[in-house]
Amino acid sequence: MLGALAFLSFAPYRWYALMPLLLAGFVLLGTRAQTWRQAAGLGYCFGLGYFLFGVSWVYVSMHEFGGMTAPLAAFATLVFCAYLALYPALAASVLGIARYSPTRRALVLFPAAWALSEWLRGWVFTGFPWLAAGYSQVPDGPLGQFGPLLGVYGVSWVTASCGAALAGLIVTRQGPRRWAGGVLIGLVALGFGLRWTTWTQPAGTPFGVSLLQGNIAQSLKWDPAHVRTTLDTYLSMTLAATTPLILLPETALPLFDTDVPPEYLRALGDHARSLKGDVLIGIPEYAGRDIFYNSVMSFGSAPTQTYRKHHLVPFGDFFPRWGVLTWIMKSLQIPMSSFSHGEAVQRPLAVAGQQVAVNICYEDVFGEELIRQLPMATFMVNFTNDAWWGKSGAAEQHLQISQMRARETGRFMLRATNTGVTAIIDQHGRVRAQLAQFTQATLSGSAQGYQGATPFVRGGNLPVLLGTVIILIIGFWRHVPRR
């Protein structure tokens, strides 16, 4: 039940205070376990509820838009969530391994194990760091202010520490209780204090942006009979925009770049030049010899520049060979699912007098990869098509992830999406403007470039990884019973 309630901590509900409370309950149950197997079992049950309720939209993607039968989609969703639940189980197992004070176990070892398990979940099998606990703390939670310092996994560590401290206040004697209270008050107070810390500075003057939300139904997006309508939609929306920077979402043009009529691209570029700016377009790129990229291209004031998606989505952008799971997922009917990986390190695109760090769809879930273009880039843009998730909460969760990326880096994040959530997010991770989902509209507003580097931009996830590993090694080296 505790894990099933966790989804309320995330968008669209955003009950950020609930996450530490749920983790406190989790710790209270885990510290009563007699063995590490019992603790891991509790953690597995927590994780299963956590993900079955939190990422149930996977079923929508596979059944409604991937063409998978309902029973097979339900089974695949269950298998996926059962796998993800292994990570909370791994974190919980430390509560039953070390045979010494439950207070020390909870306050020291569990938060480190939780943060490390989330990092592992974001790395193994190309990674799925969705619903890391730290995301629940943006934009309003005081603990989210640790984002520029430690990144999302650091925020998860701090959140788990507060949960462990709450548990310590309940179950410990007076002395340890004061220690637990000090940890809780200290972390929350420091989070509030960090609100006044400035890590980056404005670069240049504000500039106008137009984010185009074409609202092309996923069932029609790749239909050859609907291609002309899609092209006309984005052409008319682009010609109506009046800002120096115009952004079209991921694969907005459902043709390879080599198949788009040259006069069409020329019209887009001419309009951007008339505004002394650029238009950035999500478009599949054909590079010859059966090599395809999910790309973003610029047209306008500068020669055409290209960003190629590097971190591809398994079974969405490409099909890995993962045994029975590959057999199940090959029943999906997903167009454009044979993309190649772009370079891991790519330079920001120089457009509209700014340096923009481009990321496509799922890539903004990996904060340590986005910082490869920083601190050179002055702002970031996420091009995505979240229509795959239907009217579930996934698009709002994705928005919250982008908010964390903005806070981690101290830079604006612009989101150009097909069906939503299209938004302008400032350097603090707050949404300044957004469009309603599943509407065809243009979001016009102002953005500001920023320069400088937050501690997270400089160090990435390394400080958190080293910290968690060192704490776990020391904790178990000193306290695991020896025969």
**Annotated catalytic sites, by residue?**
250, 309, 361
Alpha helices by DSSP H, listed for 421-461, are 455-459
Please list the helix, strand and coil fractions of the chain in percent, rounded to the nearest 5, in that order.
Answer: 50, 15, 35
CA distance 118 to 6: 15
Comparing CA positions, the residue from 371, 434, 376, 361 lying closest to residue 406 is 371
CA distance 354 to 207: 9
DSSP state of 316: T
The separation between the first and the last C-alpha atoms of the chain, rounded to the nearest angstrom, is 38
CB 15 within 8 A of CB 9: yes
CA distance 183 to 164: 9
CA distance 224 to 231: 11
* Phi/psi at 439 (5° precision): -130, 150
- Give the DSSP per-residue string, 294-309: EEEEEEESSS--EEE-
* Phi/psi at 411 (5° precision): -140, 155
Work out the angle at residue 352's Cα, subtended by the Cα atoms of residues 347 and 354, and round it to the nearest 5 degrees: 45
CA distance 173 to 80: 41
Q: Say which residues have a Cβ less than 8 Å from residue 348's Cβ, sequence separation at least 6.
A: 355, 356, 357, 358, 373, 376, 377, 378
